[in-house]
C-alpha cells in the first residue's frame, strides 16, 4: 500500500518517529517474525553464541574507529596502538561482563585521545552525559541520540526485536539492539563530523548555552552538525544521494544492509560472523 515490504509484512515508519508500525492481516499467511526471533533468542540465551556476537559487535566498532582514523587523518597518532590493543583484548573476551569492561576501557582510551587534542580548547575532560557538561559532550550526546533513532527502524524492518540487544542488556523503554547497532555507526556518523567541525574551527563557544549543570547546543550548531553528518555519509558511502526523511538514501541503504547482515548472522545464512558498517581498506 504505502509501506516497505519485507517477507510479506509491511512496516512503515512515520516521519521523524523512531517507532514503526506493522500491518497485521486478518489471515496470517506466513509469520515472518517467528524464525528470526527464535534465532535471536537462541543467540541471546546461549552464553557462548552471545559472546561470539558481542565480540563481533566490538570488532565492528573498532573497524568503524579505523575509518574515523583514516578520514580524519589520525594514523600518525597513538590511535592505531589503542585500536590494536582493543582488538587483542576483544579476542580474549570470555563473557559479556568482560566485554563490557573491554568496551569501557576502549572508549575511555578514545576519549582520552579527544581530551589530549581538544581538552584545553573546549574544556573536555572525558565523556559525561545527562546532561553533558561541555560542548564536545553535548555534540556527542546529540549525534549519538540521532544515530540510535536511525538504527531502530532498519532493525524492525528485517523482523528483529529491537528491544533485545546482545551487548546492551535488554531493559524497559529502550531498544537495546539499536544501541548495539549504533556502536558500529557512532564513530562514523558521530565522531567524524564532530572531529571535522572542531578541526575546521567553525564552532563558536556561544553556540553552546549553559543552563544549570548542562551544556546545550543551539540551532546553528545543530544545523552545522547535521550538514557535516550528511557530508560524511557522502564521503564514506560514495557520493551524493537524494534525501529520505532528512537523511541520504545511501545511509538508509547502508543501515538496511547492516540490519540484514545481523539477520543473516542470526539465521546462520552467513558463514563468517563479521558485522561491519563498511569494509574499509585503509583510507581508499
Contact between 283 and other proteins by CB under 8 A: the answer reads no
Residue 148 sits at the vertex; the CA angle it makes with 216 and 193, to the nearest 5 degrees, is: 60
Rounded CA-CA distance 148/130 in Å is: 16
Answer whether 199's CB lies under 8 Å from 72's CB: yes
Q: Cell 533513532 maps to which residue?
A: 149
Beta bridge partners of 13: 20
Contact string 174-203 vs other proteins (x = CB under 8 A): xxx---------------------------
Q: Which is nearer to other proteins, 11 or 82 (CB)?
A: 11
Answer whether 18's CB lies under 8 Å from 9's CB: no
Contact string 44-83 vs other proteins (x = CB under 8 A): xx--------------------------------------
| Cα–Cα separations (whole angstroms), residue 133 to 157, 194, 214 | 36, 16, 5
CB of 266 to other proteins, least distance (A): 13
Q: Which is nearer to other proteins, 164 or 232 (CB)?
A: 164
Contact between 173 and other proteins by CB under 8 A: the answer reads yes
**First-to-final CA distance of the chain:** 41
Size of the site for other proteins (CB under 8 A): 45
Contact between 84 and other proteins by CB under 8 A: the answer reads no
Rounded CA-CA distance 154/59 in Å is: 21
Among 34, 81, 116, 200, binds other proteins (CB under 8 A): 34
- Residues in contact with other proteins by CB under 8 A are 2-3, 11-17, 19-31, 33-34, 37-38, 40-42, 44-45, 156, 161-165, 169-176
Amino acid at each position: 500500500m504505502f509501506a516497505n515490504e519485507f517477507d510479506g509484512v509491511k512496516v512503515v515508519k512515520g516521519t521523524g518517529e523512531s517507532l514503526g508500525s506493522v500491518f497485521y492481516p486478518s489471515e496470517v499467511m506466513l509469520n515472518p517474525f517467528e524464525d528470526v526471533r527464535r534465532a535471536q533468542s537462541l543467540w541471546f540465551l546461549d552464553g557462548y553464541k552471545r559472546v561470539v556476537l558481542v565480540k563481533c559487535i566490538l570488532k565492528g566498532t573498532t573497524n568503524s574507529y579505523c575509518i574515523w582514523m583514516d578520514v580524519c587523518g589520525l594514523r600518525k597518532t597513538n590511535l592505531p596502538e589503542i585500536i590494536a590493543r582493543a582488538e587483542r583484548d576483544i579476542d580474549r573476551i570470555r563473557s559479556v561482563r568482560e566485554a563490557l569492561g573491554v568496551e569501557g576501557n576502549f572508549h575511555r582510551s578514545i576519549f582520552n585521545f579527544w581530551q589530549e587534542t581538544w581538552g584545553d580548547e573546549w574544556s573536555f575532560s572525558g565523556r559525561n552525559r545527562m546532561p553533558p557538561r561541555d560542548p564536545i559532550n553535548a555534540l556527542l550526546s546529540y549525534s549519538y541520540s540521532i544515530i540510535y533513532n536511525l538504527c531502530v527502524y532498519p532493525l524492525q524492518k528485517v523482523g528483529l526485536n529491537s528491544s533485545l540487544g546482545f551487548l546492551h542488556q535488554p531493559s524497559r523503554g529502550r531498544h537495546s539492539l539499536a544501541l548495539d547497532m549504533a556502536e558500529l555507526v557512532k564513530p562514523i556518523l558521530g565522531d567524524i563530523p564532530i572531529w571535522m567541525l572542531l578541526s575546521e574551527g567553525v564552532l563558536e563557544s556561544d553556540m553552546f548555552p549553559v543552563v544549570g549543570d548542562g551544556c546545550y547546543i543551539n540551532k546553528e550548531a545543530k544545523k552545522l552538525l547535521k550538514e557535516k553528518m550528511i557530508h560524511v555519509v557522502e564521503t564514506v558511502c560514495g557520493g551524493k544521494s537524494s534525501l529520505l526523511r532528512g537523511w541520504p538514501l545511501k545511509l538508509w541503504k547502508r543501515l538496511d544492509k547492516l540490519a540484514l547482515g545481523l539477520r543473516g548472522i542470526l539465521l546462520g545464512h552467513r558463514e563468517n560472523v563479521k558485522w561491519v558498517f563498511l569494509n574499509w581498506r585503509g583510507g581508499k
